[in-house]
């Protein structure tokens, strides 16, 4: 009986300590990430700021074009499947069963 009591109390103690350590670690890492993002977003006063301002727009345009290509590929694949299913359905409907 005493082994079970020790196991249960150890389980709860471990879960509590693990939750506390994980929570503290999460808060610390989140604050560091937030600080890093704010440093990255600060405006620069040099000529690099002009290039960095255009850079996200270029990336967005490239991403948009890439997504448009993928959408076109998906639409083509959907059309192909519809055509194949239409052929299968028309073949199964034309067959007569005795």
Ordered per-residue pLDDT tens for the chain, 98 residues: 456 667 888 888 899 999 999 999 999 888 888 877 776 665 555 555 555 556 677 888 889 999 999 999 999 999 999 888 888 777 766 555 55
CA pair distance 89, 76, nearest whole angstrom? 20
Computed over its alpha carbons, how large is the radius of gyration of the chain?
30
Clarify whether residues 53 and 96 are in a common domain: yes
Asked whether the whole model's pTM tops 0.75, one would answer no
Clarify whether residues 20 and 55 are in a common domain: no
Clarify whether residues 97 and 49 are in a common domain: yes
Clarify whether residues 50 and 86 are in a common domain: yes
Clarify whether residues 49 and 35 are in a common domain: no
Clarify whether residues 60 and 77 are in a common domain: yes
pLDDT of residue 54: 60
* CA distances (Å), origin 52, targets 13, 33, 65: 50, 20, 20
Clarify whether residues 64 and 93 are in a common domain: yes
Count of domains in the chain? 2
- Structural domain containing residue 56: 45-98
pLDDT of residue 84: 87
């Amino acid at each position: 009986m005493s082994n079970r009591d020790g196991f249960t109390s150890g389980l709860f103690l471990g879960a509590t300590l693990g939750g506390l350590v994980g929570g503290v670690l999460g808060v610390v890492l989140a604050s560091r990430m937030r600080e890093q993002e704010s440093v990255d977003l600060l405006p620069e006063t040099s000529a690099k700021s002009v290039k960095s301002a255009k850079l996200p727009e270029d990336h967005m345009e490239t991403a948009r074009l890439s997504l448009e290509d993928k959408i076109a590929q998906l639409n083509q694949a959907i059309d192909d499947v519809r055509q194949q299913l239409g052929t299968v359905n028309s073949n199964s409907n034309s067959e007569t069963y005795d």
